[in-house]
Structure formats: structure tokens, C-alpha cells
Amino acid sequence: MKEKEFKFVCGEKCPHYQKINKVKLPNTEQIEKLSDMFKLFADNTRLRIICSILNTELCVCDLCELLDLNQSTVSHQLQILRNAKLVKYRRDGKQIYYSLKDEHIEQIISTSLAHILEEEEK
């Protein structure tokens, strides 16, 4: 197996090839998908929407009410979540009900919340 080639060296011992060669990064596409996914959680409004439907389905009107947001704002954010396939939705008459598509989401949020709460103690 060929050793990786690097373009820039700042000193004799540095960079530390032995350490660097052991690093296992997700590939470019995976990094892209990961950061795209985290972007979804990286906004107050979207995060509140996501948390709202962690355990129940809600219609757009419910979200506007619960979160005190413009209907337009909610719909725009839901569109983003739909495009990312993070949520599913169903129509029932005039209302459209949104819910989460995946249980990983709940796990990610709860782990992150644990992180936050631990920080608070310090």
C-alpha cells in the first residue's frame, strides 16, 4: 500500500506522518452529507420544529401556534426539511401533517442535549 503524499512540511518532525496516516476520515461525500444534515439542526427555528415533532405529528397551523411563528416561515423551513427527507407528511383534508422520518434524529438530539446539560454543570 502506498504512503499518502503531503504537500507542505512545517518542520523536521512535523507534520507527524505516523499519526496523520492513521486518521480515518469519512469520505468527501459522507462529510458533505453529514454537514448538510447538521445544517438542518443548526438553526433555532428548524430545531424547534424538529423537536416539536419528535414524538407526534403536527399540522402547519399547530407549529405556527406552538412556536409563535409566521405561517410562511414554518412552510419554508418545512420545505427544507422535506427536501432533506428528514420529515414525512400526509394530507388530511385541508391540513398537512408533518412527522419525523427516522429514529436516529431523536438519538442525535438527546445525545446532544446530554452534552449541553453536562456543560451547564461546569
Among residues 2, 12, 19, 72, which is the contact residue for a copy of itself, using CB under 8 A? 19
Q: Which does 90 bind (CB under 5 to 8 A by kind): a copy of itself, DNA, none?
A: none
**Do 50 and 86 touch, CB atoms closer than 8 A?**
yes
Among residues 2, 93, 116, 122, which is the contact residue for DNA, using CB under 7 A? 93
Q: Which segment (7-15, 25-33, 102-110, 114-122) binds DNA by CB under 7 A?
A: 7-15
Backbone dihedral region for residue 9 (phi beyond 0: left; psi -120 to 50: alpha; all else: beta): beta
Strand order of the β-sheet with 58-59 is: 58-59, 95-100, 87-92
Is residue 23 a contact residue for DNA (CB under 7 A)? Answer: no
The site that binds a copy of itself (CB under 8 A) totals a number of residues, namely 59
Among residues 2, 4, 94, 122, which is the contact residue for DNA, using CB under 7 A? 94
Least gap, CB of 37 to a copy of itself (angstroms): 6
| CA distance linking residue 29 with residue 37, whole number of Å | 12
C-alpha distances out from residue 58 to 8, 54, 86, 96, Å: 53, 10, 15, 8
Q: What would the grid cell of residue 75 be?
A: 412552510
Name the site residues for DNA (rule: CB under 7 A): 10-11, 14, 39, 42-46, 59-61, 64, 69-80, 89, 91, 93-96
